């Protein structure tokens, strides 16, 4: 049996993109396995998805460091040490809602992948889908999209692009309809992008 690539997933929320990755690992779409899931939020359902599969599910809150007066770089360095224990081939940011500093990133060059629910150079940061929806309503953009990119540094939602796909916005869309269409696209494009990077390994 061919050895599978090892993925560590960082997730802050519900974990639907994590689920898409887990399913792709199960059905052989990805020649990989998720070896750990780490969250900065105790109630992130992504942790439950990991526990349901018997995958190590680790909660690492920033607040503890903050209360102790420790620097963000200390948190990120400790996070890097933790991630490294699982010997990952790739680190997947699947809805990880915290910027990573170089204290983390310098340990994993060309190994960290992020998904952003907008096209390159558009709507960096949070609430990208809602901001795109509002921009469409104002006639400023014809569509939105998703992208997967490497995270080489502390730039917000920028870095070498691995994959993009346009997501249409229709005049009679509600925000919820657009969110659903974007998330559906995310799940497929993220898996394809991870597969592409693994092929190039």
Q: What positions carry a catalytic annotation?
A: 116
Q: What angle do CA 182, 114, 96 make, to 5 degrees?
A: 85
**Residue 88 has which token pair?**
């990952």
Q: What angle do CA 77, 8, 183 make, to 5 degrees?
A: 115
Cβ distance 113 to 197 under 8 Å?
A: yes
Instruction: Tell which residue, 181, 111, 175, has the closest CA to residue 189.
Output: 181
Residue reference for tokens 């690539």: 5
With a CB cutoff of 8 Å and minimum separation 6, the contacts of 60 are 38, 39, 40, 75, 78, 79, 82
């Amino acid at each position: 049996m061919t050895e599978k690539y090892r993925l560590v997933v960082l997730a802050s929320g519900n974990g639907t993109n994590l689920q898409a990755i887990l399913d792709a690992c199960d059905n052989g779409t990805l020649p990989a396995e998720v070896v750990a899931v780490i969250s900065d939020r105790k109630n992130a359902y992504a942790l439950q998805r990991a526990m349901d599969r018997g995958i190590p599910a680790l909660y690492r809150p920033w607040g503890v460091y903050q209360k102790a007066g420790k620097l963000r770089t200390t948190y990120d360095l400790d996070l890097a040490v933790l991630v490294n224990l699982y010997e990952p081939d790739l680190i997947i940011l699947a809805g990880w809602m915290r910027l990573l500093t170089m204290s983390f990133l310098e340990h994993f060059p060309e190994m960290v992948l992020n998904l952003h629910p907008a096209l390159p150079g558009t709507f960096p940061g949070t609430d990208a889908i809602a901001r795109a929806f509002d921009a469409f309503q104002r006639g400023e953009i014809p569509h939105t999209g998703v992208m997967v990119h490497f995270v080489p540094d502390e730039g917000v939602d920028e870095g070498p692009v691995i994959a993009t796909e346009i997501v249409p916005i229709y005049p009679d869309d509600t925000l919820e309809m657009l969110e659903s269409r974007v998330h559906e696209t995310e799940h497929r494009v993220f898996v394809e992008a991870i597969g592409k990077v693994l092929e190039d390994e």
